[in-house]
Chain A
Amino acid sequence: MAEFEVVLPLVGGALIGLAAGLLMLLNGRVAGISGIFAALISLRMEERVWRVLFIAGLIAGGLIFMAANPQVFPERFERSLPAMAIAGLLVGFGTRLGGGCTSGHGVCGISRLSVRSIVATLTFILTGAITVYVVSHVMGGA
């Protein structure tokens, strides 16, 4: 097993749950990042401002960490650029087709006890694990 921490991941997770919970309690919205981002880059103009600001908040958090504690970001990337491009296509296409990602299905959907989201989450963990198995243990990198 790899080395891991327990407290920071739990606290970080709790903050994620708090952020998603506040977006529901205050704005009545599910914090599904793939859906919010897709609506933002589509040409639909209605309900645009809150989406822009939510994504701006995500990016602003990244900027704060870049300035204060850049160790939260990787120094180098294990995958080649073509692999990253294909990964992006799969993430973009798959989250649109499947109606969500780790936040919308994984965090918000499971919290709502949605069967659709539980099925989606188990599916993307399964195919993610198969991909890592093939890339790391069969191909030896990508």
Chain B
Amino acid sequence: MKSNFSALFAGLLFSIGLAISGMTLPARIFGFLDFAGRWDPTLLFVMGGAVVVNFGLFRLSRLRGAPLFHPKFVLPTRSRIDPALVGGAALFGAGWGLGGFCPGPLLVSVSTGAVPVLVLLAGVIAGIYAADGLSAIGRSRLRPSD
């Protein structure tokens, strides 16, 4: 129960952070990525503020054996730099630069009901199903048939 409340609270706080820092404005994203034009460093300050605070809290959480409301920490285990990581990040970046939205600000912006936002969201959902579908096919081919 407590873990459900904390997840809701974290989502709300994350959302407020994105909105007040200007990250729900695609123009800020285009500006940050426009190194050849009028470059906008806003995203760098947002990332900087987020990483400094999160770094501290992550260190603090590692001093504990377990999180407060859950039996254990669930951390990514992969460490290899593989083609999927780089290829996936490259495709994501292209979409980010094209539409001006990454998943967080997109979900915050859903409440506007703006058609471009909903079209982009539909694309994201389709892209997720496509990737998960392809990886399921890949796994079943790799599985030994006997």
Contact = CB atoms under 8 A, between A and B. Distances in A.
A106 to B, nearest CB: 6
A12 to B, nearest CB: 3
Contacts, number: 498
A96 to B, nearest CB: 3
A52 B57 CA distance: 23
Interface string B1-23: 01111111111111111111111
Interface in B1-48: 2-27, 29-31, 33-43, 45-48
Interface residues of A, number: 110
A9 B14 contact: no
Nearest to A117: B76
Nearest to A12: B21
B23 A12 contact: yes
Interface residues of B, number: 119
Contacts of A49: 4, 7
Contacts of A29: 7, 67, 70, 74
B3 to A, nearest CB: 5
A140 to B, nearest CB: 12
Contacts of A25: 57, 60-61, 64, 67-68
Given A53-B11, A91-B103, A24 B61 contact: yes
Nearest to B22: A9
A76 to B, nearest CB: 9
Given A2-B40, A12-B46, A62 B109 contact: yes
A94 B27 CA distance: 22
Top 7 A-B pairs ranked by shortest CB distance? A88-B123, A57-B11, A92-B127, A98-B88, A61-B15, A12-B21, A13-B49
Given A73-B112, A94-B93, 8 more contacts: A31-B14, A53-B11, A54-B14, A61-B11, A94-B90, A97-B91, A103-B103, A128-B94
Interface of B: 2-27, 29-31, 33-43, 45-58, 60-61, 64, 66-76, 78-81, 84-104, 106-112, 114-117, 119-132, 135
